[in-house]
Structure 1
Amino acid sequence: MKVFFGVLIVLVVLTLAEGGNRKAVRAARKCKKMNKTFEGCLEKGYKSICDESDDDNEEEEVVVNHCPTDFPNVYYNGQYCCKSNMEKFYEPQGAQCDGSVIQRDSMCCAGDQYTSCPGGNCESNPAPTPDIPQCPASHPNVYYNGQHCCASNVEKVYAPQGAQCDGGVIGRDSMCCEGDQHTPCPSGNCASYQPSRSKRESEPEEAQLSKKESRKCARVEKNLMKKCDYEC
């Protein structure tokens, strides 16, 4: 009789253990399915509770000094602001004063129309400035320091000019155009031609979630946290 009850107890324990294992397997499968659903939510642009928490902890944005709107273009390593978006030509300073588009490390401002950076170290003003005139589409590649436009994107080989006419890819400071297929810049100082693109071509459309889908994604995330030990 004692042996019988002992065997019975063992069988009951094994049955309960087996049932518990099956329950754990079902729970794991359910969590895996919810996790896959939640990944789909994130791909469609759902903003997780974890992301909102991270936003709250972000540091305050650092204030940046900008050039004034009437002198919007920074140069001289942030110390000065130029009215024009072009450099002045001053040969002793080389490429930093060659009459090309002004940049932060440029040393000269066209017409010497400049002012000091109000904060001592500036960035260019983000307000829109007039576009730099471009080469025509038939001769899209600027060279000769912006004065001419070439139909080809490579230089002509002309040994006396050295690296500026060695048959390489044409650049603003190149001096020769392959096949001499060139035309003067219509405005006297050009940038290379850039075909305009519509918003549809240049910016991929983002996936959008409906309100119903957003609510469903929120429920899935809460269940993951509650039942599947999901953490941020």
Structure 2
Amino acid sequence: MKVFFGVLIVLVVLTLAEGGKKGKLDPGARKAARKAARAARKCNKMNKKFEGCLEKGYNSICDESVDNNEEEEVVVNHCPTDFPNVYYNGQHCCASNMEKVYAPQGAQCDGSVIQRDSLCCAGDQHTPCPGGNCESNPAPTPDIPQCPASHPNVYYNGQHCCASNMEKVYAPQGAQCDGSVIQRDSLCCAGDQHTPCPGGNCASYQPSRSKRESEPEEAPLSKKELKKCARVERNLMKKCDYEC
């Protein structure tokens, strides 16, 4: 667009100069040429303002028209706030963040921190997922003891924490010590680099904030600035043959 406005100004100036040399440009034509030159300068100025708006994060009408053609965002069903923790593979929601102990279900009902594939809810305080298949409610829940950062990976059903994210190989324990990625019910830690869970029953260590989340975001445009940018874009489309 910059090139278009620059060329337009040059052509108008050349027309004025050529007409002055030949002496054939009548007053009306000269006035029209000057008017066109002023209009071209205004359009060039508006274009620079509009580019500044885009650099600050303004979404043009063209971008909005593209977004409207995109697929709608999938709505995620969440557990209710009084039963915030999903379990039973998304079908039920638990008021507690812990499983109850029910030996026949093994590691999925051993009183550890509740997870999506858990089959029991402490105190049986549960409710069906209102949407049929839920995610845990993102509202804050009571803090769960975590493994230390030096040994971030929980195993042994929450009782121990491993420095590695891999199991060691120990054939008598079968699939729970076969050298694969360590999980909560794993029984071995690669290199035996482990430590007891400081809280007795842990979750894997999670940083409080990712680097990207902690980085300051650019301040959004104010309502006044948004209106100003929208006005500049409308004028470009109306007066300067600007198109998406």
Q: What is the DSSP-based 3-state SS (H/G/I as helix, E as strand, rest coil) of the residue aligned with 1:108? A: coil
How far, CA to CA, are the matches of 1:121 and 1:55 in structure 2?
A: 28
How far, CA to CA, are the matches of 1:8 and 1:77 in structure 2?
A: 65
| C-alpha contact (below 8 Å) 1:45/1:207 kept by paired residues | no
Give how far 1:151 is off.
2.6
Q: Which runs of 5+ in 1 are unaligned?
A: none
* Higher alpha-carbon deviation: 25-34 or 126-135: 25-34
Give how far 1:176 is off.
0.8
How far, CA to CA, are the matches of 2:49 and 2:3 in structure 1?
A: 51
Question: Under a length normalisation based on structure 1, what TM-score does the superposition of the two structures give?
Answer: 0.63
Give how far 1:26 is off.
12
| C-alpha contact (below 8 Å) 1:81/1:114 kept by paired residues | yes
The percent of aligned pairs where both chains have the same amino acid is: 90
Give how far 1:173 is off.
2.4
| C-alpha contact (below 8 Å) 1:99/1:145 kept by paired residues | no
Deviation string 1:113-132 (CA, Å, 9 cap, x unpaired) is: 33456787766444321122
* Higher alpha-carbon deviation: 11-20 or 73-82: 11-20
| C-alpha contact (below 8 Å) 2:79/2:129 kept by paired residues | yes
Question: Under a length normalisation based on structure 2, what TM-score does the superposition of the two structures give?
Answer: 0.61
Compute the RMSD of aligned alpha carbons: 8.7
| Alignment map for 1:1-232 (pairs within 5 Å) | 38-48=50-60, 67-76=79-88, 79-90=91-102, 92-93=104-105, 96-97=108-109, 99-116=111-128, 124-197=136-209, 202-209=214-221, 214=226, 217-230=229-242
Give how far 1:148 is off.
0.6
Give how far 1:74 is off.
3.2
Q: What is the DSSP-based 3-state SS (H/G/I as helix, E as strand, rest coil) of the residue aligned with 1:138? A: coil
Distance 1:32 1:129, change over 3 A: same
Q: What is the DSSP-based 3-state SS (H/G/I as helix, E as strand, rest coil) of the residue aligned with 1:197? A: coil
Deviation string 1:39-96 (CA, Å, 9 cap, x unpaired) is: 5423422254577899999999999876554433233355543221122344544664
| C-alpha contact (below 8 Å) 2:91/2:132 kept by paired residues | yes
Aligned length: 231
Distance 1:179 1:2, change over 3 A: closer
Q: What is the DSSP-based 3-state SS (H/G/I as helix, E as strand, rest coil) of the residue aligned with 1:183? A: strand
Give how far 1:10 is off.
24
Distance 1:31 1:157, change over 3 A: farther
Give how far 1:99 is off.
4.5
Q: Which runs of 5+ in 2 are unaligned?
A: 21-33
Deviation string 1:7-60 (CA, Å, 9 cap, x unpaired) is: 99999999999999x999999999798667535423422254577899999999
How far, CA to CA, are the matches of 1:166 and 1:80 in structure 2?
A: 32
| C-alpha contact (below 8 Å) 2:8/2:40 kept by paired residues | no
